[in-house]
Chains A and B, each alone.
Chain A
Amino acid sequence: MASPYLKAALLTAALVFLGFFFISQLDAMRANELRANVEELLFQSEAERMLFTYSQLMSNDTNEICIYLSTAAETKASQAYALSEKIRYYEQSNLANADYERIRNQYYLSNMGLYLNIRAAEKYCKGTPYDTVLFFYKLKEDCPECRAQGGVLDKLRQARPSLRVFAFPYDTNLQFINVFVKRHGISQVPSLVINDRDVLLGLKNEEEVAAHLRKG
């Protein structure tokens, strides 16, 4: 009769193998869910940009694009910020898949695209109905104040449907984020840039943020 410890070791090996199989399935499922969400955002920002390019190259009428922007942005962009939390938590729970960096970067890219489209709409369509907030936080280390700031923004967003929050990590070497860090002179986190104009450094409460938003 084989030693009970040998049997136990074999059983353990089998269970661990099975366990890691389930884990890889679970992780892949979650990563796919995020990828699908991010792709949707990317598609939208690309679609908007195509329309801009079209209107600049082939027609002088920016009206079409302005109408499209004010309706389409409504539907998708509202999930742009919520997705960042989801990515964060899935990444924390993740064990097997390592391409979260890619998912995150694509997510920032789509976010930046959407943000720039709103800025473009402001320029070409004589203003935008949206208030925008660029929210800089720390990615690589835990930042409780950033979490707190996120909570404040969540509350504001619920009260104001016209508010668009775009969250970006401060500690990254992505060029398209760093140009904004430089442009607004962001030196600490959390920091907010409201409507590309007002820069608020440090944790701010709801009233302080709301004072810089349009009335309503």
Chain B
Amino acid sequence: MHLADEGRKTEFKRSTIYIPERRELAILGMILVALCVFLFLAISYQIIFIGYTILSIFIFSAYLIMWLDGAKEEDYVPPPKHWPHVTVIMPSYNSKSTIFDAIATCKKMEYEGKFDILVIDDGSTDGSYEMLQRTNGISLLRNAKNRGKASALNYAIDRCKGDIVACIDSDTYPAKDVLSKAVRHFYENDRVASVVVFVCVNKPRTLLQRVQEIEYWISFGFFFRTIASIDGLYVTPGPTALYRKDILQKLGGFDEQNLTEDMEIALRMQKNGYKIRACHETMVLTDVPGSLGKLYRQRLRWYRGGVMNILKYIDLFFNPAYGDFGLFILPTTLGSGFFAALFMAWTLMSWSRNFFDWLSPFTYNFSAGISATVAGLGNGLLTFQSAWVLGLFSLAIWAYFLIKSFEIAHTDPKPRHIVPLICMLWLYPFFIGFVFMVAYIYELSGRKYTW
């Protein structure tokens, strides 16, 4: 997923090239944004807060009901009569430090049928290609020039032996039974085109990684399982996803112009009526960014890709033809980023207004200003707004999701989870909202992306 962090200079085409015929839609969108900004500014904080909270209670309740209706118990999936040949495709770009561990972990996988490992080097310059040439037990392909992950995957898919391809990132370490457990899901229904595996964080060290660990449990654990139960998955996460090769080829492979090709392929599958299943009986571990700067770059790419794909597949949104997926899942997952961005912009605006309010007394009297600021902040923090009672309900439902996520990850909540959890509740949303805001601004203004 973050296979290549530095050094890439591939320029991606602007998302707007996909929608020249949708200029009216873009204008409508701008009017909508302007209207939202106006509402944010004109209506009191309390009204917005209450509206936002009631909406979130509704969305959370719906996920809760879906969980209780269908996702709570994982069905036993019987093994297939004939185990298909699986090719593990591992794209690599300057991944010297992780890929050999990843290959070694893949080799240890136990699978009833045949499987082979195909590494596709995407024009690495760190000497990893030469080292890979000396590695036993893998097939090796090479793109002479760095052309991006999607391009590397397409190249490898056309040349692999397997009927099922398991795309595994070069910084991802699958559990032994990943293939054996995940492949079964293809035989539940002949429309199943892809199976995603529960992605968890590998060896979290920094606080930021611990926050992401919990975030992955909730989103790839609880939410993916719930969403998969109504066939609504909108992304086949890059770290590990299995695809049926024939369907992938029929659909034309990965989109090489897309920032998040893993989301694009999932949306294309949904649009063409294919199913995506989730496998939570096993898991893969993946390395996640340890510093805020790296996380910012990773998330900016994800969220810009998200915006790009929203624009590309806007016709799926609120489209009854796509059932739960179009009416509920897309608006509440991909669409919610839009509200996160808007909410963040509004928060920043009100902060700046307050900030100047607090600042102005300083110009008259320094000591007076500071005592008033402290008093004001103190009072603001201690005063419990009545409307927050509603927020407690949505927090309570979310807490239930959290507990279930821990169960899915087979982890007991421990004291060491407290600090990351607090950060996740209070600080992380600001960061995420900020990145969403930047992503929307960049993508809608057509700023070019290089990575």
* Cβ of A51 under 8 Å from chain B: no
Question: Are A152 and B390 in contact, CB atoms less than 8 angstroms apart?
Answer: no
Whose C-beta in chain A lies nearest to the C-beta of B364? Answer: A203
Question: Are A148 and B368 in contact, CB atoms less than 8 angstroms apart?
Answer: yes
At the interface with chain A, which of B56-64, B77-85, B165-173?
A: B56-64
> Interface digits, A1-30 against B, CB 8 Å rule (1 contact, 0 not)?
100110111011001101110110011000
User: What separation, in Å, do the CA atoms of A130 and B329 have in the docked complex?
Assistant: 68
Known: A12-B57, A148-B364, A154-B375. A19 touches B369 (CB 8 A): no
At the interface with chain B, which of A32-40, A57-65, A69-77, A87-95?
A: A87-95
Measured CB to CB, the closest approach of chain B to A21, in angstroms, equals 9
Question: Are A155 and B365 in contact, CB atoms less than 8 angstroms apart?
Answer: no
* Cβ of A205 under 8 Å from chain B: yes
Whose C-beta in chain B lies nearest to the C-beta of A206? Answer: B367
The interface residues of chain A lying within 8 Å CB-to-CB of B48 are: none
* Cβ of A113 under 8 Å from chain B: no
* Cβ of B65 under 8 Å from chain A: yes
Known: A7-B65, A19-B393, A22-B389. A89 touches B383 (CB 8 A): yes
Main secondary structure of the interface of A (DSSP, over half): helix
The interface residues of chain B lying within 8 Å CB-to-CB of A131 are: none
The interface residues of chain A lying within 8 Å CB-to-CB of B61 are: 7-9, 11-12, 15
The interface residues of chain A lying within 8 Å CB-to-CB of B393 are: 15-16, 18-19
Known: A27-B386, A144-B357. A205 touches B58 (CB 8 A): no
Q: How many residues of B contact A (CB 8 A)?
A: 35
- Checking B57, B66, B379 against A16 with a beta-carbon cut-off of 8 angstroms, the contacting residue is B57
* Cβ of A96 under 8 Å from chain B: yes
User: What separation, in Å, do the CA atoms of A72 and B155 have in the docked complex?
Assistant: 90
> Interface digits, B48-59 against A, CB 8 Å rule (1 contact, 0 not)?
000000100111
Known: A22-B389, A23-B386, A144-B360. A5 touches B62 (CB 8 A): yes
Measured CB to CB, the closest approach of chain B to A129, in angstroms, equals 27
List CB contacts (< 8 Å) of B322-373 with chain A. 328, 357-358, 360-361, 364-365, 367-369, 371-372
Known: A92-B383, A144-B358. A205 touches B389 (CB 8 A): no
Measured CB to CB, the closest approach of chain B to A87, in angstroms, equals 12
User: What separation, in Å, do the CA atoms of A37 and B254 have in the docked complex?
Assistant: 70
* Cβ of A132 under 8 Å from chain B: no
Known: A4-B65, A4-B69. A12 touches B368 (CB 8 A): no
The interface residues of chain B lying within 8 Å CB-to-CB of A96 are: 386
Whose C-beta in chain A lies nearest to the C-beta of B358? Answer: A144
The interface residues of chain B lying within 8 Å CB-to-CB of A8 are: 58-59, 61-62, 64-65
* Cβ of A46 under 8 Å from chain B: no
Measured CB to CB, the closest approach of chain A to B331, in angstroms, equals 12
Question: Are A23 and B361 in contact, CB atoms less than 8 angstroms apart?
Answer: no
| Given contact pairs A4-B62, A148-B364, A148-B369, a sample of 16 additional A-B residue pairs in the complex whose CB atoms are under 8 Å apart | A4-B65, A15-B390, A20-B390, A23-B389, A89-B383, A90-B383, A92-B383, A93-B383, A95-B385, A144-B360, A144-B361, A148-B365, A149-B368, A151-B368, A152-B371, A206-B368
Closest 9 CB pairs of A and B: A148-B361, A151-B372, A8-B62, A151-B371, A8-B61, A95-B386, A148-B368, A4-B65, A148-B372
A-B contacts, 18 listed (Cβ < 8 Å)? A4-B66, A7-B61, A11-B64, A15-B57, A15-B390, A15-B393, A16-B393, A18-B393, A23-B390, A26-B384, A142-B357, A144-B372, A145-B360, A151-B375, A152-B371, A203-B365, A205-B365, A206-B367
Residues of chain B at the chain A interface (Cβ within 8 Å): 46, 54, 57-59, 61-62, 64-66, 69, 328, 357-358, 360-361, 364-365, 367-369, 371-372, 375-376, 379, 383-387, 389-390, 392-393
